[in-house]
Amino acid sequence: MDLTRLARRQQGVVSREQALGCGMTPAQIKWRLTRGDWRTIHRCVYLTNSGKVEWKARARAALLRAGPGSAPALESAAHLWGLERAAPTTITVAVPRQRHRLPVAGMEVAGASRWTP
């Protein structure tokens, strides 16, 4: 997959795993971060430009950080669906209940007992 196209589809956000899967090396990722071309939003989740981190980019970063099977929840989901005008300051993400949930700044993780992504 082309990393540029992937980043464009994901509001400029990619995970380390995705970048490596697109053929980048760890050294190339580190170089882009060191130069300031990319910025770390969460551990192993990067914004691939030096612009402002928009709300949708923060939401995408939260989903990538939460991992497979995660989805926007509560006010975050309502905002994405256009049901709430104001974007919530904290991104809420639902994950399968059995997954260990680590606290992450700017992000709330809620466990879902019945989840079929």
Contacts of 81 (CB under 8 A, 6+ apart): none
Higher pLDDT, 113 or 45: 45
Whether residue 86 lies inside any domain: the answer is yes
Provide the residue range defining the domain that includes 24: 3-112
* Residue 117 placed within a domain: no
Q: Where are the beta strands (DSSP E) in 38-116?
A: 39-42, 45-47, 71-72, 91-96, 107-112
Q: pLDDT tens digit string along 16-61?
A: 999 999 999 999 999 999 999 999 999 999 999 988 999 999 999 9
Q: pTM for the full model?
A: 0.86
d(CA 24, CA 76): 31
For 57-75, the pLDDT digits (tens) are 999 999 999 988 889 999 9
Domain membership flag for residue 89: yes
Overall number of domains in the chain: 1
